[in-house]
Every structure is written in C-alpha cells, then in structure tokens.
Amino acid sequence: MSIILILSLFLSFVTLSFAYDASRIYGYIGGGLVVTTSINMEYDETGNALITIAGRVIDESNKTVPKASMSIQVADPLGSTAHIALVYSKSDGTFLNEFIMKGDYLPGNYTIYLTATKVGYNDANLELPFSILILGFSISVIPDIQAIEQGETANYSIFLIRTKGTNFPISLDIQGTPSNASAFFKDALTTEPNSTLYIETFEDTPIGTYNLVISGEGNGINHSTLAFLQIIEGEEMNFPEYFFIYRDFDLFWILIIILLVIVIFVLLVYFKKIDKSYLKKIEKIIEPIKDKEYLATARALAKLEEMKAKNEIDEETYVRLKKEYEKKLKG
C-alpha cells in the first residue's frame, strides 16, 4: 500500500514538471519577430533606379530566425503598387530583395510595406518611406531675367543636374524668342553639366518682354525651365557730324580717323576746352546702361547663391561663376 502511494506521488511530480517545461517552450515560441532593414538606391546610365531592400530577422532574445517569410509591397506617390515580392530569411536570418524601376517612374514619396511571418511567432510589420525627387535630371538657368538694348546679345548659363549615375546626352531647345532675333546654344546636345544660351538681337528686333521656355530632353525624359528677356529701345548718341564714318572707307583710314578723334578729344578734355555739355550727355547715356548691368549681375549672383543652398550646382561651377559676378559688380 505504501509502495503504491509513493509511486503515485512520484508520477504526480513528473507530470507537474513536464507541464511547467512545456509552458516555458510555448512561451518562447510565441514571442515576436524583430526586423532590421536598410534601403539602398542607385541609378544606371539610362536613368533606371536599382533599389535594394536588405535586412535581418531576429527574435526578442536577439537570436536569428531562419526561413521567415518576408512579404514586400512598394506603393508609389499615388498609392498604386509599384513592386511586390515574397522572400525568405536565410540560415543567418538575413534577407535581400532587389528590383528595378524604369526611367518613367513617378518622382515623389514612396512607401515600402514589409511583413515578417513565421509559425509560432507574432508577425512584424514595418512601413519604410523613401523618396525619388529627380527624374533623370533637372534643368535651371542663371540669370533668369535680363534686360538688353536692341542690337545687343544676351547670354544665359544653363545647368543640367543629373541623377547620380546618369550620363545620357541631353538635347536643349528654346521657345519664345523674339522675331528678328537669333538664338543658339554653345552645346545643343551635351553630356556636360552646363551649357550657354545666346540670344542675338538687332536694331529692328521688337522691344518688349519675352517669356523663354528652355527645355532639355534625353532618354525619353523632358524637363523645362522659364527665363525672361526684356528688350528696350537703344539710345542714340548725338555727336557732331565729323564723328560719323562712312562704311565705304578703307579699314586703315577708318582706324586712323578714330585714333585722331580720340587724341583730339583727350587733348581738349585735358585743356578744358571742350564743351562740358557733351560730357554730361555721354554720362547720361552710359549711366543707365551701367545701372542695368549692375542690377542684372546682382540678380544673377543672388540666384547663384539660391542654387548653391539647394545643392543644384557643383562647387567648381559655383566658385567660378561667383568670382565672375563679383568681379563685374566691383568693376
């Protein structure tokens, strides 16, 4: 009888111990998953974006979790699905998913929805935002507004800021130029980061303000920027009749006459025998031109600083243009 009682007590102890151990195992298996993730984005020379999603799955005890299923969905700025995939963590808990977005993708904010699942664990859900802000390249112009007289030439610096890794040629075009004017680019088809637009006007070019649309196209991608050109009427200089030189003169004699006139003019000024009214007229003619050039250069310098603050221009070009504009302002 006592033997049976002792045996019963022993079996009860074993049963309680087994139940305790089982509850510990269940509690461990029922823990949550932890996912660490990184996103990397690169561009090829055609403007396509290669996106890599990499990470590692562990449990709450920092132990790797192999063979966990990773459901990946990428939503574009409009909320539509741009990519979907299902991958599994390896024996060391790591996982990897790579995909390519073609050059016609929408620029803006994207979201990656990631769910890690494995039987016996609580799911892990992540939302990972990333942005694609530039579609292949961007285009900008300095200065964005100029004022010149009829017969003068305006020039604009064009900057092409490419997405990292792209190097396809970009074709430049201009629309909105005034009639009786000639517009051309230093490099109309270029792989360089900048170019120059020249607009040559003539005496019969209509005065007014013109909206210039400067566009670039490459690899099926098109961007444009806006600039303004104001053409004002040129002022005539009322010099004495002997100051006019006829075109049928020989070039040598024309140069001799110009040189003699300059010498006589300097001598007369030196001996204070020239009518001061002519000097005042010349000053009135030159002064507005200097003021317009100064204001245009100041606006160009301000635009350059704005582009520098937005990282839209490389350091070398920024330093070179800044020196040129500051030299013009001091001159």
**In the beta sheet, which residues pair with residue 128?**
112
Distances from the Cα of 109 to the Cα of 6, 131, 162, 220, angstroms = 72, 4, 19, 22
- CATH number reported for the structural domain that contains residue 173 in this entry: 2.60.40.10
pLDDT band at 241 (very low <50, low <70, confident <90, very high): very low
Q: How far apart are CA 177 and CA 202, in angstroms?
A: 13
Same-domain check for residues 76 and 218: no
The answer on 207 and 190 residing in a single domain is yes
Res 236 pLDDT > 60 = no
> Could you tell me what percentage of the chain is helix, strand and coil, using 3-state DSSP and rounding each to the nearest 5?
30, 40, 30
At residue 240, does pLDDT exceed 70?
no
- Per the DSSP assignment, residues forming a β-bridge with 216 are 172, 223
* Whether residue 82 sits in one domain with residue 224: no
**Domain stop point among 112, 132, 152:** 132
pLDDT tens digits for 170-185?
A: 999 999 999 999 999 9
Q: Does residue 257 form part of some domain?
A: no
Mean pLDDT, the chain, rounded, equals: 77
Strand order in the sheet with 33-43: 33-43, 49-59, 94-101
120, pLDDT greater than 70: yes
User: Are 67 and 212 in the same domain?
Assistant: no
DSSP 137-171: EEEEEESSEEEEETT-EEEEEEEEEEPTT----EE
| % residues pLDDT > 70 (the chain) | 72
Name beta bridge partners: 189. Answer: 171
Q: Is the pLDDT of residue 7 over 60?
A: no
What is the percent of the chain with per-residue pLDDT over 90, rounded to a whole number? 34
Give me the domain span that covers residue 124: 28-132
Total domain count, the chain = 2
Across residues 66-85, what is the average pLDDT? 93
DSSP annotation of 205: S
